[in-house]
Amino acid sequence: MTTTSSDTTPPPITSPSTGQGRATPVVALAAGIAILVSSEFLPAGVLPTMARDLGISEGTAGLAVAATAIAGALTAPSIAMVLPRMDRRTLLVGLLVAAAVANLAVAVAPGFIVLLLGHLVLGAAIAGYWSFAFAVGTYASPGRDHVISTSIALGVTVATIVGLPLGSLLADGPGWRWGFAAAAVLSLVAAAALARALPPVPAHPGAGLSMMRQALRNPRLVAGVALVVVVVLGNFVAYPFIRIAISDTTPGNGMWMLALWGLGGLFGNLAAGRFSDRLRLVVTVAPILLAGGLVLTLLAESTPAMALAMIVWGFGMNMVPVATQLWVTRVERERTESALALQVTAFQLAITLGAALGGAVLDQYGVELVLLIGAAAAAVAAAGFGSLRVPRG
């Protein structure tokens, strides 16, 4: 990201005595988000066992999981207002420590209330970390915005791939609580690594409510954030029910197909970063590919066709976090903290709304209509992004 005298990140503080390479802060930031998002996805693989152990219904346990996204949607735009002057390294480390406490609470939860509180704290930690990680990364490693965005998104993709199968293995083996205990330990390790890898990162002088108000006056940013909601909703209308769509065509191949979705996602992350100098094209093509993957999933009648659908779906969807993160920071250069907070809020809101809508449609009309709605939303987002001009990087 090209910086100016009024940009959100002042010139970086360097410490020649540390001997750290430029990649170290980026790796530490990506590891932190990977652990956080893995914690978010763990419950999906252990839900029946967790509900049975706590003496609650699966639907009630699902409400606790949904609380993670709801807490994130509320936290992302507000955390900079509540802590406008806190050093951003200290803030990120504190959020990882909070995630460790939240995971430990879930690991020892005797009932629904403690489970719910743990997920609320975890959602706040994820949203806060995701909101600040990019700006902190560009401060610690200036001029590498596309590398930082790609690395953070890769962390999310790896977590998406690992979280569900890991949860399933733990539920079938030593027990679901061990997964959250391990996540608590890893969160503390990530906090220590981040504290060591990053320099102090002072808050922007204008951070807080005033910055958010000014960002919301940018019509292109507001339009882009609305389109982020549309495209992410398009994915999460369908993604929670991906196993149903797969089993209708290729029963018994669910894990392999999910692995192909993840493989496509890894390449989608890398492609979005590689072609970030053509951002308008990337942010338009990503939802087109997502829509194409959803349609291919609907039409697939054989294992090879479903495999192709998974790769295209994963590729397109996992371009979206990188592309939209770069997009919002480019259209709102002077208030990137607020722009990124709005992007994260859009993601969390869309995840919640998409899963709720998809579940309602699935129960009434089946997975085919779910996939069509997702594809239509992604196509609308593609048309919207294609019509919005993006400043040069």
Transcribe 193-209 into DSSP letters: HHHHHSPP-PPPTTTTH
Q: 202 CB contacts (<8 Å, ≥6 apart)?
A: 10, 87, 88
Instruction: State the DSSP code for 217.
Output: T
CB atoms < 10 A from the CB of 142, how many? Answer: 16
Q: 262 CB contacts (<8 Å, ≥6 apart)?
A: 157, 160, 161, 314
**What per-residue confidence (pLDDT) applies to 205?**
60
User: Using CA atoms, how far apart are residues 386 and 380, in angstroms rounded to an integer?
Assistant: 10
DSSP-based three-state secondary structure for 13 = coil
Evaluate whether 102 touches 125 at the Cβ level (below 8 Å).
yes
User: Using CA atoms, how far apart are residues 314 and 258, in angstroms rounded to an integer?
Assistant: 9
How far CA 50 is from CA of 47, 105, 380, in Å, comes to 5, 14, 38
**What per-residue confidence (pLDDT) applies to 322?**
87
User: Using CA atoms, how far apart are residues 157 and 146, in angstroms rounded to an integer?
Assistant: 16
**What per-residue confidence (pLDDT) applies to 88?**
87
Instruction: State the DSSP code for 111.
Output: S
**What per-residue confidence (pLDDT) applies to 206?**
57
Residue-range domains of the chain with CATH: 21-203 (1.20.1250.20), 207-393 (1.20.1250.20)
**What per-residue confidence (pLDDT) applies to 1?**
34
Tokens of 74: 């509320």
Question: Which of 294, 265, 285 lies closest to 375, judged by CA?
Answer: 294
b or e along 252-291 (b: 16 or more beta carbons within 10 Å of the residue's beta carbon)? ebeeebbebbbbbbbbbbbbbbebbeebbebbbbbbbbbb
Question: Which of 165, 162, 156 lies closest to 72, judged by CA?
Answer: 156
Question: Which of 188, 137, 130, 126 lies closest to 25, judged by CA?
Answer: 137
User: Using CA atoms, how far apart are residues 255 and 243, in angstroms rounded to an integer?
Assistant: 9
**What per-residue confidence (pLDDT) applies to 239?**
86
**What per-residue confidence (pLDDT) applies to 9?**
40
User: Using CA atoms, how far apart are residues 231 and 252, in angstroms rounded to an integer?
Assistant: 30
User: Using CA atoms, how far apart are residues 123 and 67, in angstroms rounded to an integer?
Assistant: 7
Question: Which of 96, 149, 95 lies closest to 343, judged by CA?
Answer: 149
Tokens of 188: 């503390």
Q: What pTM value is reported for the model?
A: 0.78
Q: 383 CB contacts (<8 Å, ≥6 apart)?
A: none
**What per-residue confidence (pLDDT) applies to 23?**
66
Estimate the crossing angle of helix 367-387 against helix 242-249, to 10 degrees.
120
**What per-residue confidence (pLDDT) applies to 341?**
85
Positions of the chain with pLDDT under 70: 1-23, 44-45, 163-168, 170-172, 204-208, 392-393
Q: What is the DSSP string of 48-91?
A: HHHHHHHT--HHHHHHHHHHHHHHHHHHTTTHHHHSTTS-HHHH
